[in-house]
Chain A
Amino acid sequence: MSNYYNMPKLPTENSPKVEIFVDDKPVMVPGDTNLLEALKAVGIETPHVCYHPYLPVSGNCRQCLVEQEGPRGRMLVIACYTPVSPGMKIYTPASSARVKNARKATQEFMLVNHPLDCPICDKAGECTLQENYMEAGQNESRMRPEYGKNYHGNPEHQFIDAKGQLRGGKHVDLGPRVLLDEERCVQCDRCVRFMRSIAGSEQLQLAGRADHTYITTFPGEKLDHEYDLCVTDVCPVGAMTAKYFRFQKRVWLLSHTPTVSMDDSLGANIWLDYADGHIYRVMPRCNPVVNRSWLSNTSRLAFQEFDKNRLPSMEVHTPAFGNGKIAIVAGGTCTLEDLAAIRMLKEKLGDRAEIFGGSLLKVDAPDGIAKSGDPVANRAGMKLLGFADVADFMKRASEFETLVTVNADLFGEDPAAAGVLEKINCRVAITPFDDATAKKATIAMGVRHWSEVQGTMVNSLNMLQKLNACPVCPDENLWAAYQVVSYMAGSKFEAAADAFKKAGEYAPVLAGLTYDAIKSTGKLLEGGEA
């Protein structure tokens, strides 16, 4: 399905090292990649607009020009499409005025039709064009002084381009989630390449020629895809904007928490961008193995529900578990710490307690981008800690007198199961949300959401990944789920690290690990395959 033609080869740890000459100085660079990545590997940043490490190279922006010594003298080549070869001689702006001028000219040319509306552009602050301007441009504008500086268009969403022609497209509604501003577009065609090569659904196209080129959908069609918000990420300028984040916050005011999305067993790496105690957006965090730079709309927009319909904090107490059999069901968003605490509770209660994990939702096929289709994020972790599948529990539900659900909305996931579950007398729900299970429970206790706790999870690739706490919890007194469960088990974990240590006792692969040993891109556990 995917079209990997022209995909850039990225350097890995195993790349062969070759010697090239940069500014007449010999350096060792990865040999199996393009020049841009090779220079980046030795610390030389090359400004670029159209190049994206996970998109096919198109080489149309000409911003990454460097000089190469060739048989016909020194030639300007684009770094992103030139493979590294041993002994090649490269000249960067550090030594070559020609490269410097060429980049500056390219930059100026690109800015000819780009409006000067950074103050109202949502991309401002993380805009590739801005960064390039500061690095390679810094030229005085040769346009009419006020050109592009009016922050208001006309009622038909038209704008006047550098030639003085009136053109439309200031406010193109591409689809349900994305808006396009054609004036800001620099025609790098990253979005087109993303939809074609990564999303596999060619919904965007470049139309027109020369400086009239513009991005559009097929007539009558809309941009509507599970991954369509990724075009706003890949867009180097503010042309593509996500409707949900439009004008919400200037990006430099956002703080970022690196964590892992817990709604899918691939565990897509994400940034939680927050300010003033609210998450404003979720951005994909680059992890070459897991989700590269992509994130599904489901994972991306899930944050909008994080602080809604929450259970308040209350005094945590241990329920009387009676004499009958007890089932403890861990939901898909349970971290390893939660699972370790559940396991501890089970061992305290003895043989009459059984632990299950999973959800009643059906498992889809992996889409090959950033989703594995399994809604139980930590299924591998449950396997590690010896949790039985929840399907097993549903078969034998009538045996149990007590049901403890941790982050598991069994009632909500399968309304048909309610009849079976309601026969269990004592139902304890430990969950962040006031969901169906919490409503039906005899005791419901609020806990922190996974975005607000520190923890770990094992994804479907058997990678141990780290979650970090984002300081957006609506109630500071809320406990994390592992704290509540361990309190019931008799010894409360004060820190997530304690619970992780406990998990190491139950699962030998985790033994001896600490949070510091887990890289931001995760750690491959023994027995897993990348």
Chain B
Amino acid sequence: MRVIKQKPMTWGERLYIFEALRGLFTTLKHAARGLFRYEELPTISYPEGQPEVRNTYRAKHRLMLRPDGSPRCVACGMCAAACPAHCIFIEATASDDPRIEKKVKRFDIDHLTCVFCGLCAEACPVDALRMDTKKISFEHRSREEFVAHLEDLTNWDPKDYPDDEQSQVAPGGTKNAEARKVWGMEVK
């Protein structure tokens, strides 16, 4: 442990008036900047202007898709197990596709409970759950609408992720055709 002793105030500081004047000068500088260099204020006019979101920002979730458009999720429940807020609800079922054993039937994320820690995306063994949508604002009319269902989570456009190869594999992406070839058969 390091103890940092507070410096005792000097005589001038104890007099208050000079320090007060110094403070006044500081605020005057800021006020002058606001008045004469209004455009340099760091504030963003929020709903009209959106803040820049980085790639690593943990935003709203999405579920990655296989080349045939089905969610990549295998309903293993690792995300739900990792979730500290218990906001992920998964139900699994056997898949109709013979190549896939288990598929997801229900995948709900309650964004009102979610703490956006990103542990779910970390836990996913198949890289199905990602938080890179850059959607940072959630506005809905009712509590129920804040629960993202399977359809919401898989409803994304590969064009929004031009640099991400895995996203381009999904239907509509640039790599979808060759991925389908690798994937093999056309899936009903």
Write the residues of chain A forming the contact surface with B, with a CB cutoff of 8 angstroms: 117-120, 149, 151-157, 170-171, 246-248, 250, 252-253
Complex Cα gap A406–B184 (Å): 61
Is there an interface contact between A253 and B77, defined as CB atoms closer than 8 Å?
yes
Is there an interface contact between A119 and B74, defined as CB atoms closer than 8 Å?
yes
Is there an interface contact between B100 and A151, defined as CB atoms closer than 8 Å?
yes
Residues of B within 8 A of A246 (CB): 94
| A153-B99, A154-B99, A155-B98 as given contacts; A119 in contact with B92, CB under 8 Å | no
Is there an interface contact between A154 and B74, defined as CB atoms closer than 8 Å?
no
Complex Cα gap A322–B99 (Å): 68
Total contacts A-B at CB 8 Å:
50
Which one of A119, A155, A157, A253 lies within 8 Å of B125 (CB-CB)? A119
Residues of B within 8 A of A157 (CB): 98
Write the residues of chain B forming the contact surface with A, with a CB cutoff of 8 angstroms: 74-78, 81, 92-94, 97-102, 125-126, 184-185
Residues of A within 8 A of B125 (CB): 119, 149
Residues of B within 8 A of A252 (CB): 81
Q: What is the CB-to-nearest-CB distance from A125 to chain B, in angstroms, rounded to a whole number?
A: 9
Residues of B within 8 A of A170 (CB): 101
Complex Cα gap A214–B78 (Å): 30
Is there an interface contact between A151 and B101, defined as CB atoms closer than 8 Å?
yes
Residues of A within 8 A of B98 (CB): 153-157, 171
Is there an interface contact between A120 and B99, defined as CB atoms closer than 8 Å?
no
Complex Cα gap A253–B90 (Å): 11
Complex Cα gap A149–B77 (Å): 16
Is there an interface contact between A120 and B76, defined as CB atoms closer than 8 Å?
yes
Q: What is the CB-to-nearest-CB distance from A526 to chain B, in angstroms, rounded to a whole number?
A: 49
Residues of B within 8 A of A120 (CB): 74-76, 101-102
Complex Cα gap A151–B100 (Å): 7
Complex Cα gap A420–B100 (Å): 57
Q: What is the CB-to-nearest-CB distance from A377 to chain B, in angstroms, rounded to a whole number?
A: 34
Residues of A within 8 A of B126 (CB): 119, 151
Q: What is the CB-to-nearest-CB distance from A170 to chain B, in angstroms, rounded to a whole number?
A: 8
**Which of chain A's residues has its CB closest to B183's CB?**
A152
Complex Cα gap A253–B75 (Å): 14
Is there an interface contact between B99 and A247, defined as CB atoms closer than 8 Å?
no
* A-B pairs with beta carbons under 8 Å apart, 9 shown: A118-B76, A120-B74, A151-B74, A151-B100, A151-B102, A154-B98, A154-B99, A247-B75, A250-B76
Residues of A within 8 A of B102 (CB): 120, 151, 247
Residues of A within 8 A of B101 (CB): 117, 120, 151-153, 170-171
Which one of B76, B97, B100, B185 lies within 8 Å of A119 (CB-CB)? B76
Q: What is the CB-to-nearest-CB distance from B38 to chain A, in angstroms, rounded to a whole number?
A: 55
Residues of B within 8 A of A152 (CB): 97, 99-101
Is there an interface contact between A250 and B77, defined as CB atoms closer than 8 Å?
yes
**Which of chain A's residues has its CB closest to B90's CB?**
A250
Residues of A within 8 A of B93 (CB): 247
Q: What is the CB-to-nearest-CB distance from B128 to chain A, in angstroms, rounded to a whole number?
A: 10
Residues of B within 8 A of A253 (CB): 77
Please indicate which of the listed interface residues B81, B99, B100 has the most CB atoms of chain A within 10 Å of its own CB: B99
Is there an interface contact between B185 and A247, defined as CB atoms closer than 8 Å?
no
Complex Cα gap A252–B102 (Å): 18
Is there an interface contact between A155 and B99, defined as CB atoms closer than 8 Å?
yes
Which one of A119, A153, A247, A250 lies within 8 Å of B94 (CB-CB)? A247
Residues of A within 8 A of B184 (CB): 154-155
Which one of A117, A119, A247 lies within 8 Å of B78 (CB-CB)? A119
Complex Cα gap A516–B77 (Å): 37
**Which of chain B's residues has its CB closest to A253's CB?**
B77
Q: What is the CB-to-nearest-CB distance from B124 to chain A, in angstroms, rounded to a whole number?
A: 9
Complex Cα gap A502–B103 (Å): 53
Q: What is the CB-to-nearest-CB distance from A133 to chain B, in angstroms, rounded to a whole number?
A: 16
Residues of A within 8 A of B75 (CB): 120, 247
Please indicate which of the listed interface residues A149, A153, A247, A248 has the most CB atoms of chain B within 10 Å of its own CB: A247
Complex Cα gap A487–B117 (Å): 54
Is there an interface contact between B81 and A250, defined as CB atoms closer than 8 Å?
yes
Complex Cα gap A171–B100 (Å): 11
Complex Cα gap A152–B102 (Å): 9
Residues of A within 8 A of B100 (CB): 151-152
Residues of B within 8 A of A149 (CB): 125
**Which of chain A's residues has its CB closest to B99's CB?**
A152
Q: What is the CB-to-nearest-CB distance from A518 to chain B, in angstroms, rounded to a whole number?
A: 35
Q: What is the CB-to-nearest-CB distance from A520 to chain B, in angstroms, rounded to a whole number?
A: 28
Please indicate which of the listed interface residues B74, B76, B100, B185 has the most CB atoms of chain A within 10 Å of its own CB: B76
Q: What is the CB-to-nearest-CB distance from A450 to chain B, in angstroms, rounded to a whole number?
A: 28
**Which of chain A's residues has its CB closest to B81's CB?**
A252
**Which of chain A's residues has its CB closest to B78's CB?**
A119
Q: What is the CB-to-nearest-CB distance from B185 to chain A, in angstroms, rounded to a whole number?
A: 7
Complex Cα gap A149–B75 (Å): 15
Residues of A within 8 A of B77 (CB): 119, 250, 253
Complex Cα gap A5–B100 (Å): 42
Q: What is the CB-to-nearest-CB distance from B64 to chain A, in angstroms, rounded to a whole number?
A: 13
Besides A151-B102, A247-B92, 7 new A-B residue pairs in contact (Cβ under 8 A), listed by A number = A119-B76, A119-B126, A120-B101, A151-B101, A171-B98, A247-B94, A248-B92
Residues of B within 8 A of A153 (CB): 98-99, 101
Complex Cα gap A117–B100 (Å): 12
Residues of B within 8 A of A117 (CB): 101
**Which of chain A's residues has its CB closest to B95's CB?**
A152
**Which of chain B's residues has its CB closest to A120's CB?**
B102
**Which of chain B's residues has its CB closest to A153's CB?**
B99
Complex Cα gap A434–B125 (Å): 46
Is there an interface contact between B185 and A155, defined as CB atoms closer than 8 Å?
yes
**Which of chain A's residues has its CB closest to B123's CB?**
A119
Q: What is the CB-to-nearest-CB distance from B36 to chain A, in angstroms, rounded to a whole number?
A: 60
Complex Cα gap A423–B78 (Å): 61
**Which of chain B's residues has its CB closest to A276's CB?**
B89
Complex Cα gap A252–B125 (Å): 18
Complex Cα gap A246–B105 (Å): 14
Complex Cα gap A153–B184 (Å): 12
The 4 residue pairs across chains A and B that have the minimum distance between CB atoms: A119-B76, A247-B92, A120-B102, A250-B77
**Which of chain B's residues has its CB closest to A179's CB?**
B94
Complex Cα gap A170–B99 (Å): 10
Please indicate which of the listed interface residues A118, A170, A250 has the most CB atoms of chain B within 10 Å of its own CB: A250
